[in-house]
Structure 1
Amino acid sequence: MPRLRTPLGLTAAALLTLLLATALLAPMLWGDRAAAVDTGNILQGASAAHWAGTDALGRDVFFRVLVATRLSVALALLATGLGVLTGLLLGAAPLLVGDRAGRLVTAAVNIAVAFPGLLLALSFAVVFGVGATGAVLAIGFAIAPAFARLTGTLVASIAARDYIAAARIAGVGRFRVLTRHVLPNIAEPLVVNATVAAGGALLAFAGLSFLGLGVQAPSYDWGRLLGEGLTSLYVHPLAALVPGVAVVLAGLAFNLTGEAVARGIGQSTPLFTATRRRKDPRPVALAETAGDVVLAVEGLRVTFPTATPVRGLTFTVRRGEAVGVVGESGSGKTLTALAIAQLIEEPGRVRAERLEFAGQDLRNGPSRAQRRVLGTSLAMVFQDPMTSFNPTQRIGRQLAEAAQQHQGLSRRRAFDRAVDRLRAVRLPAPERRAHQFPHEFSGGMRQRAMIGMGLMGTPKLIVADEPTTALDVTVQRQVLALLQDVRHTTAAALLLISHDITVVGQVCERVLVMYAGRIVEDVPTADLSARARHPYTRALLAAVPHLGTDRNLPLTVIPGRPADPRETPVGCAFAPRCPYASDLCRREDPPLEGGVACWHADLTVAPPAEPARAGEPVD
């Protein structure tokens, strides 16, 4: 490994190799000499015959320290393994058992972290009893709280990433998400802290054995040797100094080696050396939705303890139809998509009078049938292509995971299908690209690969959440064209979420305009420019610059600020910003009738021509 070729890495590797070799070989080579009693040479100093002198029974101290290496290292590694495993499970509890139970576990961990580790170890030693087994349990459980706190912080930092959401949409179980997608991305700090914990465990065992709570006679470790040497410290200091030096060197070996190799963790995804073209496997047969409706939503609400960002959405998406969703930030567009994909986490709540996708009722909580349908028939294309993929796994393996999970394909056949899907989204050299990591792709290539991931199944609906935001104009046009081609080829419906109303108008046949968690207008694209009836829709259109825009004038903006989702508005939410607002608008919220939710939808008076200088601009 290149990381070990530095002077620090070579030194650490040499120390660790020497330590492990000593632990393995010393009892076989020098066990008899370490146990030999010589009453004629009691408490002798260093000499050619005894390099570190002898103990109270005339046994060679140096050889006893070497033989004690095996037990000292083995017990420390056992305790470290127990502490790390326990800490991982406790720290990942919110991901494994849900937020509610996870918060209780986290609270208990925070209380345990408040106690010093040595105090915990001594307390557990009293509980588990004197001896090596009790010491292993005591030190392991004393290590666990700090490791759990670190794990919890790291897991929380990436739990909301798009590739985690993609894995969950694919139906990957919680434990598999943890082992395949979470732990590889947080492995570096965990490895470093585990090696530090191993060094600390060595010291802790030495301390417990020194106090008589650890290893018991006739067995001995470095701690017992320290205790025995302390009785003759002033006349024979080497008897205590040599085992102390052994503890320090062993701790350095673990810590320095961990630092050297941690940066290489997570890049070990297996690489296929050859890819054979096979005939595409037959996709999983799914129950057809009654009629042409792929997605049916009625009265959808998404609530949080302090806000209701989505309030009573009702719409349908038919087979092969392209529907755009537009609105300012905070209007509830992305939360609507996440609710459809069953990705709203606690404390969020999703309620709906009807929420059906591909013939499955999604209101009854996660089930095997739901996960199968979402994993094979719903394709999610997220906003940021860099966070859409797990950075520690190769692109081909990530695409293949859904096919293995839901279609029962072998590892090889799933990988072959992934290569074929990359070819379908027009990635050059798909066989080579499938073996590369996400950071080796450009932004447009990552977005194409994300669309390819959605095509691993038989998508009935493609949800594209601002898929071109981070891309330049040329790549943006290519990605939109690709979505159109995929839609026409597969007859899949498209739900395109965007800030840019003109982009949606070019791609979609129907546009849903959202404001403050509601659909305020449902308008065909052909009527968008000339026949939009809601003042908010007309304001969005007016805020988009075009070739005829006078560059000497400031850009048009929508006056005021978007509604705060933490405050449920009385009447029409757009009334404070609307030039046509009346007392009726401020008193009653208009229903969505005839494709528009506005009391004054039939007014033909154009908005004021004078642009406002202050307010919330449209992206």
Structure 2
Amino acid sequence: MPLPRRYLRSPMAWITAVMLASLLALALAAPLLWGAAADRPNPSAVLQGPSTAHPFGTDNLGRDVLARVLTATRPSLLLALAATLLGATGGILLGAATAVVGRRARRLLAGLINLLLAFPALLVAMFLAVVFGAGTAGAVLALAVAGIPGFARLAQTLAAAVAGTDHLAAARVLGLRRHRLLWRHVLPNIAEPLLLATTTAAGTALVALAGLSFLGLGVQPPAYDWGQLLNQGLDRIFADPLPALAPGLAVLYAALTFQLLGEVLAGRVARRTPAPRTPAPPPAPSERAEDGLVLQVEDLSVELPTPEGVIRPVCGVDLSLRPGEIVGLVGESGSGKSLTALAIADLLPEQARITRRTLRLLGADLATMTPRQRDRDLATGLAMVFQNPASALNPSLRISTQLTEAVRAHRGMSRTEALTQASDALRQVALPPTVLRARPHQLSGGQRQRVMIAAGLMMRPGLIIADEPTTALDVTVQRQITQLLSGIRRDSGAAILFISHDIALVGEFCDRVLVMYAGTIVESLPADRLATGARHPYTHALVASVPDLGADRDRPLPTVPGAPPDPLAPAPGCPFEPRCPRRRDRCAEQAPPLGDLDAEQRVACWNPVPVEVLAS
């Protein structure tokens, strides 16, 4: 893997490259060039000092010390690297797994990591070296086990940051198994600091292995490494210091090389992972409900624990969507729109408590399924388009991988078939197939949002939940995205739940509008009535706050007075009562139910806005 030019211009990179090349050259060539001299005893030259024939002197059998130090390069490096790789593999998998396992397993793994970190690594290595038995294998295993806790804690900390990202949530929506989440979405995004830690640990392992051999717990005669040579030369250090200094300097040189290598390579990480060889079988398609509803939700509530107490940001929500219908969900920030969508997609935090009387997707009752069955049905029947595509897309993977992994996991497609379908999905959202080779940072905001929609289309879902898909886009791109969603609805018959703050956009784009306030649906009405027929005072105020070109610029824009209610201290009556200009005594005592005004409009209000007021 070639280094970037900025590394080639760095003096530190050149120094590290020279030092690493010298170690590799010695490891390969030293046994061939000096192996015979290192192992050949010479009784006539026992314990000689430095000379022309023996620059570092000889040992107690007359063997050349310099030849033995050079020849010991290969076993010393190989054993240190083996211990490092074993420890890093075990520790990284242990720590990174906390981002994809369940809550109980996460707690058990975190407790295990904390317990292992309570013991000093060097003492653990010495203890295990005695337990495993003095020798090469015992020393390597002891160092590997002793290094696991440090790698596990680092991987756990890094994985915790990835666990809360949108792109991992998007991968969960796709129903990917835990091992695929780990290999494709967690490890690639934490590889850079782990690479630095691994190369640095190699130097530490080299020193520790030399220490075990020095103590007689590592490499045993007739084999030898730098630690054993250091032990042999220590007895005569005051008379002839070079036989002891030579292996010590070799250990220092190699350890320093690994430290510098970690610093140079920390920003260069390869994140290419192989595709699975055995794809999962395609799931059986769910039958639609008898009444033809794509989504049916009744009495959906969400409870979230906070340090101040439990709050209910979503309370008693009812909604339904039919095939090909676009339903808008509007309301102020904090009204519970996104939480409702996340609850339907089963993406809320584990500590959240969800209750519902009915939750059916494409006719399948999600509440009665096992977690694996529910994940499969959600992955194949529902697609999520998140508000921020930059965070919802995995920055370390190419677009081709992110578009194809769901169909390969759930439909059993080959890579070629999946790429063909991905190209077709990109054309459907007006993007060229060349986007497959790009990474998210190479695309504009509008292109990333189109890629998110294309990813949802790959599974041909019956329901698309678009959570603020146009918020971060300019007006022109907003229009393109809404036209794109309308075309998808027309061509595929999918239902769309469109969440937005933009009342004007929802009124123009959607078929039906649900108005949400303080976690409840306060009005449901056709979109063509939104501008002139809203009966709930809150909906009426939201519509009135939309500016138009004929507004008087000398007067402030109309707003909804007051603030939403405190979720920690909900009032017993109507949640909008403190802000409502039409409130009555009953409003403060009893919350109104969502009742029918006619066959198409429902409102939760004791005193709705009269028709004559709307007409005026």
TM over 0.5: yes
The whole-number CA distance in structure 2 between the counterparts of 1:249 and 1:365 is 60
The answer to whether structure 1 residue 597 and structure 2 residue 577 are counterparts is no
- Contact 1:462–1:492, Cα closer than 8 Å, also in 2: yes
Asked if the contact 1:229–1:240 (Cα under 8 Å) also holds between the matched residues in 2, the reply is yes
Deviation at 1:118, TM superposition (A): 2.6
Name the CA distance, whole Å, in 2 between partners of 1:67 and 1:398.
48
What amino acid maps onto 1:5 in structure 2? Answer: L
Deviation per residue, 1:111-138 (Å, 9 max, x gap) = 4435443334334444444333332233
Residue equivalent to 1:274 = none
Distance in 2 of aligned mates of 1:126 and 1:550:
86
Which structure 2 residues correspond to residues 297-376 of structure 1 after superposition, within 5 A? 297-305=297-305, 306-364=310-368, 366-376=370-380
1:405 aligns with 2:438: no
Partner of 1:498: 500
> What is the match of residue 547 of structure 2?
545
Which residues of 2 match residues 552-571 of structure 1 at below 5 A?
552-571=554-573
CA contact (8 A) 1:100 1:346 kept: no
Post-superposition Cα deviations, 1:308-364, rounded to whole Å, max 9, x if no partner, equal: 221121111111110011112222111111121121231122221111111222124
Percent identity among equivalent residues? 52
The 1-side partners of 2:290 and 2:56 are apart by: 86
Match of 1:198 in 2: 202
Cα gap change, 1:207 to 1:555, in 2 (>3 Å): farther
Aligned position for 1:415: 419
Aligned residue for 1:386, secondary structure, equals: helix
Amino acid in the other structure paired with 1:596: V
Q: Which residue of 2 aligns with 1:610?
A: none
Alpha-carbon distance between aligned partners in 2 of 1:565 and 1:94, rounded to the nearest angstrom: 31
C-alpha distance in 2 between matches for 1:334 and 1:40 = 86
Three-state SS of the structure 2 residue aligned to 1:355 is strand
RMSD of the TM alignment (CA)? Answer: 2.4
Report the counterpart of residue 8 of structure 2 in structure 1: 5
Uncovered stretches (5+) of structure 1, i.e. residues with no partner:
272-281, 608-619
Decide whether the 8 Å contact of 2:99 with 2:156 is kept in 1. no
* Separation (CA, whole Å) in 2 of partners of 1:536 and 1:37: 97
Does the C-alpha gap of structure 1 residues 154 and 566 become closer, same or farther in structure 2, counting only changes over 3 Å?
farther
Q: 1:587 to 1:216 in 2, by over 3 A?
A: farther
Alpha-carbon displacement from aligned partner over 1:516-548 (angstroms, at most 9, x marks no partner): 211111121122122212222122222222222
Q: How does 1:17-416 map onto structure 2 within 5 Å? A: 17-266=21-270, 268=272, 286-305=286-305, 306-364=310-368, 366-416=370-420
Q: 1:527 maps to which residue?
A: 529
| Counterpart in the other structure of 2:580 | 578
Aligned to 1:277: none
Moved over 4 A (4+): 267-271, 282-286, 365-369, 602-607
Q: State the 1:145 CA deviation.
A: 1.9
CA distance in 1, matches of 2:452, 2:285: 23
Q: What's the CA shift for 1:451?
A: 0.8
- SS of the residue 2:289 aligns to: coil
Kindly indicate whether the alpha-carbon contact (under 8 Å) linking 1:376 and 1:456 is maintained by their aligned counterparts in 2: no
Name the CA shift for 1:267/1:139 in 2 (closer, same or farther; >3 Å): closer
Question: SS where residue 421 of structure 1 aligns?
Answer: helix
Deviation per residue, 1:369-419 (Å, 9 max, x gap)? 433432233121111121121112211221111221122111111111111
Decide which moves more: 311-320 or 296-305: 296-305
Give the equivalent residue in structure 1 for 2:491. 489
1:443 paired with 2:445, answer: yes
Residue pair 2:288, 2:364 contacting (<8 A) in 1 also: no
Aligned-residue offset at 1:198: 0.9
SS at match of 1:314: strand
Tell me how far 1:201 sits from its aligned partner: 0.8
**CA distance 1:35–1:490, change in 2 (3 Å):** same
SS at match of 2:387: coil
Counterparts of 1:86 and 1:270, CA distance in 2: 20
CA distance in 2, matches of 1:198, 1:561: 58
Q: Aligned residue for 2:512? A: 510
Aligned to 2:473: 471
Judging changes above 3 Å, is the alpha-carbon distance between structure 1 residues 239 and 576 closer, same or farther for their aligned structure 2 residues? farther
Q: Which amino acid aligns with 1:82?
A: L
CA contact (8 A) 2:184 2:273 kept: no
Classify the secondary structure of the residue corresponding to 1:434: helix
Asked if the contact 2:99/2:186 (under 8 Å) is kept, the reply is: no
Q: TM-score, normalised by structure 2?
A: 0.91
How many matched pairs? Answer: 595
Do the aligned partners of residues 532 and 75 (structure 1) sit closer, same or farther apart at CA in structure 2, a change above 3 Å counting?
same
- CA separation of 1:359 and 1:20: change in aligned 2, threshold 3 A: farther
Question: What amino acid does structure 2 have at the position aligned with 1:557?
Answer: T
Asked whether the equivalents of residues 269 and 393 of structure 1 are also in contact (C-alpha less than 8 Å), the reply is: no
CA distance in 2, matches of 1:24, 1:364: 63
Contact 1:230–1:240 (8 Å) recurs in 2: yes
**SS at the partner of 1:324?**
strand
Q: Cα–Cα, structure 1 residues 284 and 454, in superposed 2: closer, same or farther, change >3 Å?
A: farther
Q: Deviation per CA, 1:57-116: give whole Å up to 9, x if none.
A: 222111212222222222211221222122212212322321232123223323443544
Assess, with a 3 A threshold, how the Cα gap between structure 1 residues 163 and 35 changes in structure 2: closer, same or farther: same
Matching residue of 2:278: none
SS at match of 1:471: coil
Name the amino acid aligned to 1:2.
L
Shift in Å, 1:212: 2.4
Distance 2:284 2:459 in 1: 8
